[in-house]
Structure 1
Amino acid sequence: MTLTNGTGDGQLEGAVVAVAGAAGPAGRATLLQLAESGATVVAADSDPQRLAEAVDAARFAHGGATVTGDTVDLLNLDEARAWADKTEKEFGRVDGLVHLVGGWRGSSSFADTDLADWELLHNLLVRTVQHTSLAFEGALKRSGNGRFLLISAAGAAKPSAGNAAYGAAKAAAEAWTLSLADAFRRAGGEEQPPAAAAILVVKALVNDAMRKERPNAKFAGFTDVTELAERIAGVWSKPTAEVNGNRLWLTPQP
């Protein structure tokens, strides 16, 4: 399934979209794009200073946009549920959860894999997905046009020897997200699920700061965070039945 670009022309007017892991480069780009598209954006991160900077940047870029920030520890299920409940109570609905919590650890070979990396990546890439999906499932169903969007990597489908922990964690997060998609399917049938869970797959992400740090690097096949943000916003332009349970490839499928 191929995504169309987001238009940024009020296509999400009136929608309420939560963004987990909002303080990183992809999060900042997504806050900007969602605000430009007319959404009310509810951002969360565990770093209050970086979160405040990201929220302020989105507000400044799009005067009049509603962009709020909550410091949330997504490794705590109770905090994730409290964030979801607060968001729905305050804004009356939740139409999306964009999951941008990330991290990477790798090794020079399979034999050199450090299982401490697995512990870290399991928490960052799997546990946070479990908590946000469990917390937001009900609100997304009630929306009638909800989206749960996981950002994943092509390495989940074809992991390299030095990325065993990363690839396994991404694959687990994808499987969990597809289980959520099945829950949506069971709630409304194949043709009319009340919400959609989908996976946007990239090779890796790049941003302007990375290019500045490595001016000679080509970043071949990488997806710019601004393109990712446009694609995220564009997912709401497709019917839930077309989106639910799909991997949406932003890079060639391995």
Structure 2
Amino acid sequence: MSLQEQVVVITGSTGGLGPAVVQACLRAGAVVVAGHRGHVAPDEWRSRFEGADGQLALVSADLTDETSVPALADHAIQQYGRLDGWLNLVGGYAGGTPVADLELAEFEAMLTLNLRTAFLGSRAAFRAMQPRRRGSIVNVSSLGALRGTAGHAGYAAAKAAVIRLTETLAAEGAPYGIRANVVLPGMIDTPANRAAMPGADRATWVAPEDIAAVLVFLLSDAARAVSGTSLPIGG
């Protein structure tokens, strides 16, 4: 799939899924504005990627902070004159506590990390894309959003809400040529997940590169007729 001449913002670019997605977008020909939180050495980080010369910008942004998020869209518009795609990869998991024992702060932490970031990122993308009447927004939910299970109240609620948020974006974006879709990965095969579950059967885990390929498709013109879709990935 080609993203030639497209400008794509990727949030959570330094997380478990982020590097594979950055590389896939670069290989597809996109200019990538990579959002990150915390200290990153830009030159060292860029050296990890093929095709990064002149095609990859690293921008600091806290996706939980309403005032910080627009910097990503602003950088894309100011430096490259356009914004074609936006991938919301920021998220995280905490669970294992039943509702009766769950602290409000723990519940809200999952909403902040998974839902607030998707909302603020999507809103910034929508506002930047609206004048050009073109764009693609892709959020990341989880297979765990499809059914509540014991000990996962905050995570499941947040990820389920991301699906409804994406469907709303698709409906509101249709008159402006803005598409919105959401992917629902199963367990992602990252070093962090391997370390947390050393004895797990990884037969159904999904590789970051496989998720990245789907994200590139949803950004591309090959998916121009696809919007409002929730796409499961992995088992």
Q: Distance in 2 between matches of 1:102 and 1:54?
A: 21
Equivalent position to 2:204, from 211, 216, 221: 221
Kindly provide the amino acid, as one letter, of the partner of residue 80 in structure 1: V
Indicate whether 1:13 and 2:4 are aligned.
Answer: yes
| 2:200 aligned counterpart, secondary structure | coil
Match of 2:148 among 159, 169, 183: 159
**Scaled by the length of structure 1, what TM-score is found?**
0.83
1:214-253 superposed matches below 5 A = 216-235=199-218, 236-240=220-224, 242-251=225-234
- Whether the 8 Å contact between 2:88 and 2:122 is mirrored in structure 1 is no
5 Å-filtered alignment, 1:56-75, equals 56-58=47-49, 61-62=50-51, 64=53, 66-75=55-64
Check the 8 A contact 1:16/1:94 in 2, yes or no: yes
User: 1:177-230 deviations in whole A, cap 9, x for unaligned?
Assistant: 221111112x24xxxxx1210001112211256447766532243211111111
Report if aligned partners of 1:31, 1:55 keep a CA contact under 8 Å in 2. no
- In structure 2, how many angstroms separate the alpha carbons of the residues matched to 1:213 and 1:129? 25
Q: Structure 1 21/216 Cα, relative in aligned 2: closer, same or farther at 3 Å?
A: same
Aligned residue for 1:207? 190
- Given that 1:45 and 1:51 are in contact with CA atoms closer than 8 Å, whether structure 2 keeps it comes out as no
Asked if 1:31 corresponds to 2:11, the answer is no
> How many pairs align?
234
Compute the displacement of 1:50 (Å): 7.0
The whole-number CA distance in structure 2 between the counterparts of 1:112 and 1:53 is 44
* SS of residue matched to 2:123: helix
- Compute the displacement of 1:250 (Å): 1.3
* Cα distance between partner residues in 2 of 1:69 and 1:85: 13
Q: From 104, 112, 127, give the equivalent of 1:115.
A: 104
Distance (whole Å) between structure 1 residues aligned to residue 160 and residue 44 of structure 2: 32
Distance 1:86 1:126, change over 3 A: same
Distance 1:101 1:52 in 2: 22
Taking every aligned residue pair, what percent have the same amino acid on both sides? 27
Moved more, 218-227 or 68-77: 218-227
Deviates more, 1:92-101 or 1:228-237: 228-237
1:135 aligns with 2:124: yes
Partner of 1:43, secondary structure, is: strand
CA 1:79–1:233 in 2, change beyond 3 Å: closer, same or farther?
same
Number of the residue aligned with 1:3: none
1:126 and 2:110 correspond = no
Deviation for aligned residue 1:132: 1.1
Unaligned runs of 5+ residues in structure 1 are 1-6, 189-193
**Is 2:106 the counterpart of 1:106?**
no
CA contact (8 A) 2:9 2:72 kept: no
Structure 1 letter corresponding to 2:201: K
**How large is the Cα RMSD of the aligned pairs?**
2.3
Q: Structure 2, unaligned stretches of length 5 or more?
A: none
Question: For residues 18 and 131 of structure 2, what CA distance do their matches in structure 1 show?
Answer: 25
